[in-house]
Structure 1
Amino acid sequence: MNTDHKATDNAKLSASKPSSASYYALGVLTIVYSFNFIDRQLLAILQESIKVDLDLTDSHLGLLTGFAFAAFYVTAGIPIARLADRSNRRNIVALAVFIWSFMTSISGLAQNFVQLLIARIGVGIGEAGGSPPSHSIISDIFPPQKRATAMGLYSSGVSIGILFGFLLGGWLNEFFGWRVAFVVVGLPGIFLAIIVRFTLSEPKRGQSEARTASATQPSLTEVLSVLWNRPSFRYLSMGAALNAFVGYATANWTASFMIRSHGMSTGELGTWLAVILGLGGAIGMISCGYISDQLGRNDKRWYMWTPMIALLIGIPFAAAAFTVDGKYMALICFIIPGIIMNSYLGNVIAMTHGLVGLSMRATASAVLFFIINFIGLGLGPWSVGILSDLLTPSLGTSALGMALLCIVPPIMVLAALCFYAASRKLRADLTLAPD
């Protein structure tokens, strides 16, 4: 019996040490996620030029960057994740990268709102196949005590993508126009798809925990039942969705706000936002995951407390950014929100995977992302666009700033409250995870 326990302990110890191949896979998947957000964020820095060229309203822009994209992104995400929980996840990621990169490139050919809308829907369907299988792979190659850090590193792809999306999009638009920007940014992703297909390996499910996945794939109903019966998931998913609401609203409208309220050019603005939202956001995500893994060794509630505290710190800076005079003062105020706005992501993914069985992880990620993106991506940018249009007759160019001020800080408060509520149930729920 002692020999069996010793063998089991040795297997778990070996599983807890990620290999160089694990870190290579994490690096490649992070680059993939970066391309995901380069393609997604590109529209934010180009939308003022597109608005003029195609004669669009803010509601149109909010629909393009928000609900229309999110509706197809979340709808396709769950069936793709179901496939990923029973088949080769690497191949799904490679195909997804190819599709969204191709659709980004042809966005530059759009001649009207409907054509651009169709292209963005194609991008959304492609991107639906990126994250759930990637999350599942990472959970199989990094053990629970290092998983939030790994997910934080992976999630930093959001900020890296924002960085290059703003930087490349801003300068390409200024010198060559928005159509060229779409083509130039989209094409490299096709080559990345080839790298994913031929250099990554498909890991064994459960290898990081020395566990064996069930031979029978749980049904979607079973996965939903497990998640719904965990109060911590209900609260953390809503906290994540509201955090994403303000994150997408800010990321998608900050460029337009600075152009309208402070008269900045896309080149200079793209450089500033690349550093603030891109580099700053990456620092926030990685730091939040690492700090939570360190503090979470003694108390799992830190996985929820850390993003809660980050949000509370960021609220006054977010409010100031939309109200201060002077473009540089506004940009300085954006620094703290830029660092903390998406810091929650690695933590909520890691905890969601801790609440479910091995063969449920991709599907659980898809369910989590359905909630996050339907509320956050779907409603965040669109609600700001609608309110901006309503305020424009009375406030003119100041309408967008007022819309952001009315929406962003209050939603940050609600998100922080949800994370606190999740922390109260998390420890008990983690003990109930099935195999």
Structure 2
Amino acid sequence: MPQSTWAPSAEVGGRWGKLSLLSGTLVVDQTESSLVGGLFPVIRQSLGLSLGALGVLTAAGKIVGVFTGPFWVWAARRWSRKGVLVLATGLWGVWGIAAGFSQNFAQLLIFYTILAAGYAAAQPVVSEIVADLFDSSSRGRAISYLYGAVALAAAVLGPLKGQLADVEEGWRWGLWGIGAFNILLGIAIWLWFRDPGLGAAEPQLADLSRETREAYAKLTWGRAVSLLRIPSFAILLGSRLLSGHLIVGTFGVVFLVDVYGFSTSVASVVLLPIGVGFLLGNVLGGFAGDWAAGRSPRYGLVGVLQAAQVGFAIVAYVGTQFHYQSIGLFCVFFGLMGLMQGVNPGINRPMVMAVAPPELRAMAFAIYVSVVEAIAFAAFGLGAGLLGDAIGLKAVFLWILVVLMLANGAFLTLLYRPYARDAARAQQELDARRQQALA
């Protein structure tokens, strides 16, 4: 990765403690979405729903983020990033508690969608703050630890959530619990989190005043649209639209129930290896990314990202298209799918950070996650639910988890040429800002 010739200390004090606190917001987001997917068989029975209802819930929760994700980024710039996290990913948990009282699908859909509207703030705002806590040499590791914590929480909570299927109306207790934890997290962020400010970890900007670092902080539509003119970012967006593996956590349990006849509580066991695999994938992705970037700064990260997509498709084919009778073998393959999926955040998030200027990173992640990934997730979720009723989830998994992911791997070949150039251009822009500030 190209580095600046300026070298003031860019290490932000207490950055790992701040990262630990921020990880809670993503844990809540992940737990909320996987709860509905993991317990949908009993929600379906409780409220008298079809499989298509899971697709509608998934799609609605993601589509609302297309609008609220950029809004929260705008609010964070006009108000404060800490304030947005306290409200949108903290106190917003009251809507999770309300969802637990739903008496029909309409009520569940409304409350769940409102809940997701707040959670849409977590990914872009937290990702931007991580870039301001860690410089380019440690961002991959930080992202790996961040998403690793999410995966570890999912591994621990996954089987516990599955056991709620054996409790009368247990899914309601799950939503109430998430909502309550959400509120407590918001209070903790309000009490203990200190925002480092834009550009605090950039070597060119670290020793400048916060006011100087945030001189470019004004967010306009023109500047947001300029992100789409960065070739590497545009290609990463296209790859995200092809990321069929996003549905594994949502449909994995109901897939095993409907296709291979496992009970909900037994099928939910695969959430543990998915979480463990995702955790190991994050660690592996961090080390593999550092190694690959050292071996080939121009092509290394792209190669690791591409290999993860192809590897996922191969494992998904072997792990979903054959009946192994034992849930243990399915756990192995779902764990490997989690591992391949877990490699991605430690590679693609730092790549986005490397090509986007500090003040536009939150908007970049809003576009990348809250808009494009949400559109993809909504399309896959809605399509998997509707097509699952029509042709069966086994065929749906073949097309989305295997064929589409192979296409994604091929598409990423386009990233080899522009990435190093775009990252170098971003560093040159920061060098120019430092010279202007010192002058």
Compute the TM-score of the two structures, normalised by the length of structure 2. Answer: 0.88
Pairing 1:282-431 to 2, within 5 Å after superposition = 282-297=279-294, 298-325=296-323, 326-328=325-327, 329-391=329-391, 399-431=392-424
SS at match of 1:267: helix
Counterpart of 2:87 in structure 1 is 95
Counterpart of 2:62 in structure 1 is 70
Residue in structure 2 matching 1:259, options 237, 257, 261: 257
**Alpha-carbon separation, structure 2, partners of 1:92 and 1:157:** 22
**Alpha-carbon separation, structure 2, partners of 1:179 and 1:306:** 41
Paired letter, 2:305: P
**Alpha-carbon separation, structure 1, partners of 2:351 and 2:108:** 37
Q: Does 1:281 align with 2:314?
A: no
Counterpart of 1:396 in structure 2 is none
Pairing 1:29-40 to 2, within 5 Å after superposition = 29-40=22-33
Paired letter, 2:65: Y
Give the length in aligned residue pairs.
414
Counterpart of 2:223 in structure 1 is 223
**Alpha-carbon separation, structure 1, partners of 2:156 and 2:97:** 16
Q: Give the share of equivalent positions with the same residue, in percent.
A: 22
Counterpart of 1:395 in structure 2 is none
Q: Shift of residue 163 of structure 1?
A: 2.6
**Alpha-carbon separation, structure 2, partners of 1:193 and 1:217:** 25
Counterpart of 1:269 in structure 2 is 267
Counterpart of 1:186 in structure 2 is 179
374-383 vs 83-92, which moves further: 83-92
Kept in 2: contact 1:213–1:359 (CA 8 A)? no
Q: After the TM superposition, list the runs of 4 or more consecutive aligned residues in structure 1 that deviate by more than 4 angstroms.
A: none
**Alpha-carbon separation, structure 2, partners of 1:100 and 1:61:** 22
CA deviation profile, 1:302-355 (whole Å, cap 9, x unmatched)? 222212112212222201222222143333222221211242123222221221
Q: Shift of residue 414 of structure 1?
A: 1.8
Change (3 A) 1:389 1:262: closer
230-239 vs 323-332, which moves further: 323-332
Q: Does 1:200 align with 2:193?
A: yes
Q: Does 1:233 align with 2:233?
A: yes
SS at match of 2:417: helix
Kept in 2: contact 1:82–1:362 (CA 8 A)? no
**Alpha-carbon separation, structure 2, partners of 1:175 and 1:120:** 21
Q: Does 1:59 align with 2:56?
A: no
Counterpart of 1:162 in structure 2 is 154
**Alpha-carbon separation, structure 1, partners of 2:34 and 2:248:** 11
Q: Shift of residue 87 of structure 1?
A: 4.0
Kept in 1: contact 2:301–2:347 (CA 8 A)? yes
Paired letter, 1:69: G
Paired letter, 2:198: R
Kept in 2: contact 1:56–1:113 (CA 8 A)? yes
Counterpart of 1:152 in structure 2 is 144
**Alpha-carbon separation, structure 1, partners of 2:60 and 2:408:** 24
**Alpha-carbon separation, structure 1, partners of 2:52 and 2:120:** 24
**Alpha-carbon separation, structure 2, partners of 1:64 and 1:54:** 13
Change (3 A) 1:375 1:119: same
24-33 vs 265-274, which moves further: 265-274
Kept in 2: contact 1:77–1:370 (CA 8 A)? yes
176-185 vs 199-208, which moves further: 176-185
Counterpart of 1:113 in structure 2 is 105
Change (3 A) 1:102 1:50: same
CA deviation profile, 1:118-167 (whole Å, cap 9, x unmatched)? 11111111101212121111111100111122122223354245334522
SS at match of 1:341: helix
**Alpha-carbon separation, structure 2, partners of 1:303 and 1:239:** 14
Q: Where does structure 2 lack aligned partners over 5 or more consecutive residues? A: 206-211, 431-439
Counterpart of 1:80 in structure 2 is 72
Change (3 A) 1:217 1:190: same
SS at match of 1:203: coil
Paired letter, 2:288: I
**Alpha-carbon separation, structure 2, partners of 1:164 and 1:96:** 25
Q: Shift of residue 428 of structure 1?
A: 0.9
Paired letter, 1:296: A
Q: Where does structure 1 lack aligned partners over 5 or more consecutive residues? A: 392-398
Q: Shift of residue 423 of structure 1?
A: 2.6
SS at match of 1:424: coil
SS at match of 1:315: helix
SS at match of 1:404: helix
Paired letter, 2:252: T
Q: Does 1:125 align with 2:117?
A: yes
Compute the TM-score of the two structures, normalised by the length of structure 1. Answer: 0.89
Kept in 2: contact 1:284–1:342 (CA 8 A)? yes
**Alpha-carbon separation, structure 1, partners of 2:275 and 2:380:** 19
SS at match of 2:195: coil
Q: What do you get for the CA RMSD once the two structures are aligned?
A: 2.2
Kept in 1: contact 2:269–2:331 (CA 8 A)? no
SS at match of 2:101: coil
Counterpart of 2:245 in structure 1 is 247
Kept in 2: contact 1:320–1:330 (CA 8 A)? no
Counterpart of 1:213 in structure 2 is 213
Paired letter, 1:412: M
Q: Shift of residue 202 of structure 1?
A: 1.1
**Alpha-carbon separation, structure 1, partners of 2:165 and 2:175:** 9
